[in-house]
């Protein structure tokens, strides 16, 4: 079932999750345990991140060598597992960064063969690697270009003329940034790009993580003012370690409120999880009380925090 169908049919707020594939060559048993744990919360869909190739420098007997690696392959396999073993809709992330349009089309065709109906179209982070384009291959520079490619496939238009090619039927999600994308000059300008992605075919928006609900409410208000009418799902992250006070703002370009940062900084390491869960509980309940259609949690690799959080909510 499509994400927008889940939202339209829901008689209660929906809770969804986002997880990350294992490291290259890693054991999938840990991921299976995580999924088994998340299944008990009956998520209608689970997002699976994708990862571009990136530049790494390895020390070898010949000295330091520059190599190109994908540290976390496996998105397709994890999607197949979730959808077919657990009967939960998988939402793979589809990236512009480091993938050609031809590779993207192949990936989408494989998803379609597996019966996967949902995708999240995102630009992706700069990995320091720019793929060489050979033999006429092209790339999607921005997320809106990727949305257009997927929507073209939904209309039966592929990169090459294919005889008797059936149209795809993907439900396309896109990203939104309550504190604006770090490259945008201001929130209003950033939301104008959200609107363009919706006009190109995106059917719902999932936001980047935020820790102050005022950012989300202002984002939604400005989206509606500009005519963006699709569902907007807030994305939340539970802080579980002190190091995240620095890594989250650096990686995701979002602010951590002083009250939360001070409380975490003053807490003993074993108390940080409880502080993060309590903050997320208050944040989530306010969003639900103000009619958020769904809450999307960035779980990544551990269910401990979400297992502590969900029983505290009025769902």
- pLDDT band at 310, cuts 50/70/90? very high
- Residue 124's pLDDT is what? 82
Q: Which of 22-26, 56-60, 221-225 has maximum average pLDDT? A: 221-225
How far apart, in whole angstroms, are the C-alpha atoms of residue 126 and residue 119?
20
Domains, the chain, with CATH or none: 3-312 (3.20.20.220)
- Residue 69's pLDDT is what? 55
Q: Mind listing the pLDDT tens digit for each residue in 153-209?
A: 999 999 988 767 899 999 999 999 999 999 999 999 999 999 999 999 999 999 999
Q: Mind listing the pLDDT tens digit for each residue in 243-299?
A: 999 999 999 999 999 999 999 999 999 999 999 999 999 999 999 999 998 999 999
- Residue 72's pLDDT is what? 63
Q: Mind listing the pLDDT tens digit for each residue in 24-58?
A: 777 788 889 999 999 999 999 999 998 775 545 55
How far apart, in whole angstroms, are the C-alpha atoms of residue 170 and residue 151?
8
Q: Mind listing the pLDDT tens digit for each residue in 72-81?
A: 678 999 999 9
- pLDDT band at 132, cuts 50/70/90? low
Structure tokens at 225: 């003012």
What are the strands of the beta sheet with 45-48, ordered from one edge?
Answer: 232-233, 204-207, 171-176, 118-122, 89-95, 45-48, 14-19, 294-300, 235-236
CB count in 10 Å sphere of residue 249? 14
Is the pLDDT confidence value at 224 over 80? yes
CA-angle at 212, arms to 127 and 39, nearest 5°: 70
């Amino acid at each position: 079932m499509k994400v927008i169908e889940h939202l339209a049919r829901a008689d209660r707020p929906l809770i969804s999750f986002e997880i990350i594939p294992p490291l290259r060559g890693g054991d999938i048993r840990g991921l299976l345990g995580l999924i088994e744990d998340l299944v008990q919360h009956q998520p209608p869909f689970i997002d699976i991140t994708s990862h571009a190739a990136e530049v790494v420098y390895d020390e070898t007997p010949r000295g330091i060598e520059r190599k190109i690696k994908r540290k976390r392959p496996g998105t397709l396999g994890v999607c197949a597992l979730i959808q077919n073993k657990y009967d939960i809709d998988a939402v793979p992330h589809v990236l512009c960064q480091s993938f050609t349009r031809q590779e993207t089309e192949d990936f989408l065709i494989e998803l379609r063969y597996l019966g996967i109906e949902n995708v999240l179209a995102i630009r992706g982070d700069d990995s320091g690697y720019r793929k060489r384009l050979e033999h006429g291959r092209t790339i999607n520079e921005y997320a809106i270009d990727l949305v257009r490619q997927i929507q073209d496939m939904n209309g039966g238009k592929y990169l090459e003329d294919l005889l008797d090619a059936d149209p795809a039927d993907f439900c396309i999600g896109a990203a939104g940034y309550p504190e604006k994308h770090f490259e945008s000059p201001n929130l209003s300008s950033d939301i104008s790009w959200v609107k363009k992605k919706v006009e190109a075919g995106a059917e719902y928006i999932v936001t980047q993580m935020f820790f102050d609900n005022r950012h989300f409410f202002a984002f939604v208000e400005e989206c509606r003012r500009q005519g963006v009418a699709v569902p907007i799902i807030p994305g939340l992250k539970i802080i579980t370690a002190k190091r995240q006070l620095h890594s989250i703002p650096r990686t995701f370009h979002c602010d951590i409120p002083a009250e939360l940062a001070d409380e975490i900084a003053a807490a003993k390491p074993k108390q940080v999880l409880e502080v993060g869960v309590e903050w997320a509980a208050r944040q989530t309940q306010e969003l639900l009380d103000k009619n958020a259609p769904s809450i999307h949690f960035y779980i990544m690799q551990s269910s401990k925090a979400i297992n502590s959080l969900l029983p505290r909510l009025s769902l």
